[in-house]
Chain A
Amino acid sequence: MIYDIFYVSKNTIDDDDWLSFNKRFPLSQKIENVKNFSDISNRAFTKLFWVVWDDVIISDDFDFGYIVTKWDEKYIHVFKNAEYFDGVALFSKHSSVSSKEFEKRFYINHKKIDIVASKPKNAEHYDIVFISYNEPTADANFINLKSKFPRTKRVHGIKGIHQAHIAAAKLAKTCMFWVVDGDAEIVEDFNFDHKVSAYEQDIVYVWRSKNPVNDLVYGYGGVKLLPTSMTIGMDVSKPDMTTSISSKFRAVKSISNITAFNTDSFNTWKSAFRECCKLSSKIIDRQKSEETLHRLDVWCTLGADRPFGQDAIAGAIAGKEYGESNKDNLEALKKINDFDWLKRIFDEQRTKNNHT
């Protein structure tokens, strides 16, 4: 090992972790409470030096023997931390690293080295939070989920979509957390094992779900992976919850669940109303017009023969009309997150239909 090795943390380092690391690499030094890159580079005596964050475990066969050629010294060499390049890095003493790069462990002038030098220490997966309100199948869905994934926690009965998700985020102990809706039946091969790199933890990830009434497959009702602290601090004034958390959104093209929302008349109508209101009012950022129109058309026409299919179509048509007529009225649109208001509208429509 010809370069200095620093075992670093933004906080204090666990004694056992340090003893274990230092026993394996006796010349390593630890630096705690690191605030910026110069806190480390100022301590280096060799022209290049290794930085190892205390949240990684070094691979058994990695020995810090990597040698950098003269002409590559200008690059920051980043090594694989299991899947991503956000763990061990080899810096030049003269590297210039901004606070943003340091914070995200993503360096503009990097060179990726395809060697797995480490894996994340917290190899356990992100917390799962099941959010239910009054869905008839919620208890059964939760029991199924909990039996397969015991780390699942539950938030129940909190009024307002945004507030329920904020409560879920507060339950989570991991930097990202999974959200499963109360009507979601998770498909067999979905394992909640996706990991996110240190530099992509400000993105809302949404998997696809299958709609049991009209067979549409897209993000509606799909499992979400949310950044915990951004969810706690989300903008509650916007009607659409996911785009309230972050301007960054990634649709994952695999199916996580069936959104079994057609469990009774009201819940089916409510789900269809909310979704079609969002689609028709275009409150979701970056909606693609043709895709939205197709989905609206399917919601409003298909599935009458499925359980509570008539309610879904009625809710879809009502929601579409409400969204179109209130597309510039934010206060009116925010009402779709108030389930008591939705129940009143549903009851009014039902009474009106019974009279006609």
Chain B
Amino acid sequence: MKTIELDIVFLSYDEPNADLHYADLCNKVPWAKRVHGIKGSDEAHKEAARQSETDWVITVDADNIVDTKFFNTEFDPDQKNLQVVSWLARNKINGLRYGNGGLKIWRKDFILNMKTHENSDSDRGQVDFCWENGYQQFKECYSETIITGSPFQAWRAGFREGVKMTLLDGVRIPADEIKERVWWHNLHRLKIWSTVGAHEENGLYAIHGARLGQWITNCTDWNYVDVRDFEILRNVYEQNINHSNLEHDIQDLGYRIKNGLGFDYPYLDPKQSKYTLDLYNETINLTNTYLK
């Protein structure tokens, strides 16, 4: 089935660049629908499913700019037990390419019946979606996530990943077991989120968020399940951000993480950050060249 045959729903809540990104999507696919301002990720996705007139629905997160090549792709909806298909997204500030914020195609019935985030009845589903076996991840990347529309947007994106990347199947484990038990891909992502970004406007906020997220989750008694609640995150942000002392606070979090979790993150200034990002992108491109 061609993806272009499916309904497309843009999901926004309070992202400062949402209107701009939705306009961009409508320029590419004028019939794209929009769900806006619904509290709770589970409920927002359910509304997207309700708006969809096709059995499968594409969701586009508000921080995404979609590559039109995506609409020429195909997927096989008849695969046994398939519920969700996901593509990689490239994070503009740190170059990471993974499922975070990526384009997804959902079986409509699955969304309407799932219980995740605020509607979850399991430990794992409290902070993320649970796809179990019905999940297919493609390695292609068809969108770019831009999370730097405001200091808070950048911080929240970093914080959420900082929390989630240290969890094992959505559940906190003892801090001294993280290095051994958490999947190395997630630790790699944590490393990048915690260091690269100073070269972009608001990029330092993403780094601060990532560092605070992993530290507060694993070195304090903060209830990490609250990571799904954007209003609580706003309070955490306001209590922990000192705009005039951001660089110092990032480095201070670095010391605390080193002591508490054993990760040793350097502080990269804007030039070093940009250099690291360019090198990272080149390495991925180079690898792709060899693989081809």
Q: Does B274 lie at the interface of the complex (its beta carbon under 8 Å from any beta carbon of A)?
A: no
Residue from the list B34, B71, B72 in contact with A248, Cβ < 8 A: B34
Q: Does B256 lie at the interface of the complex (its beta carbon under 8 Å from any beta carbon of A)?
A: no
Contact A200 B36 (CB under 8 A): no
Q: Does A202 lie at the interface of the complex (its beta carbon under 8 Å from any beta carbon of B)?
A: yes
Contact A286 B72 (CB under 8 A): no
* Nearest opposing residue in chain B for A247, CB measure: B34
- From A98-106, A156-164, A208-216, A256-264, give the one contacting chain B: A98-106
Residue from the list B2, B5, B28, B33 in contact with A247, Cβ < 8 A: B33
Contact A100 B72 (CB under 8 A): no
Contact B4 A106 (CB under 8 A): no
Contact A108 B29 (CB under 8 A): yes
CA distance A104 to B31 in the complex (A): 8
What's the nearest-Cβ distance from chain B to residue A198, in Å?
Answer: 9
> How many A residues face the partner with a CB closer than 8 A?
16
Q: Does B286 lie at the interface of the complex (its beta carbon under 8 Å from any beta carbon of A)?
A: no
Please name all residues of chain A whose beta carbon is closer than 8 Å to the beta carbon of B26 when the two chains form the complex. Answer: 248
Contact A99 B31 (CB under 8 A): no
Contact B36 A286 (CB under 8 A): yes
- Best-surrounded residue of A96, A100, A104 (most CB of chain B within 10 A): A100
Residue from the list B5, B34, B68 in contact with A99, Cβ < 8 A: B5
Please name all residues of chain B whose beta carbon is closer than 8 Å to the beta carbon of A100 when the two chains form the complex. Answer: 4-5, 31
Contact B30 A108 (CB under 8 A): no
- Best-surrounded residue of B26, B30, B34 (most CB of chain A within 10 A): B30
**8 closest residue pairs by CB, A with B:** A199-B30, A98-B4, A108-B71, A247-B34, A98-B5, A106-B30, A285-B36, A100-B31
A-B contact pairs, 28 of them (CB 8 A): A96-B2, A98-B5, A100-B4, A100-B5, A101-B4, A104-B30, A104-B31, A106-B29, A106-B30, A106-B31, A108-B4, A108-B28, A108-B29, A108-B68, A108-B72, A109-B72, A199-B30, A199-B31, A202-B31, A247-B34, A247-B35, A247-B36, A247-B51, A248-B26, A248-B34, A285-B36, A285-B37, A286-B19
**B residues with CB within 8 A of A:** 2, 4-5, 19, 26, 28-31, 33-37, 51, 68, 71-72
**A residues with CB within 8 A of B:** 96, 98-101, 104, 106, 108-109, 199-200, 202, 247-248, 285-286
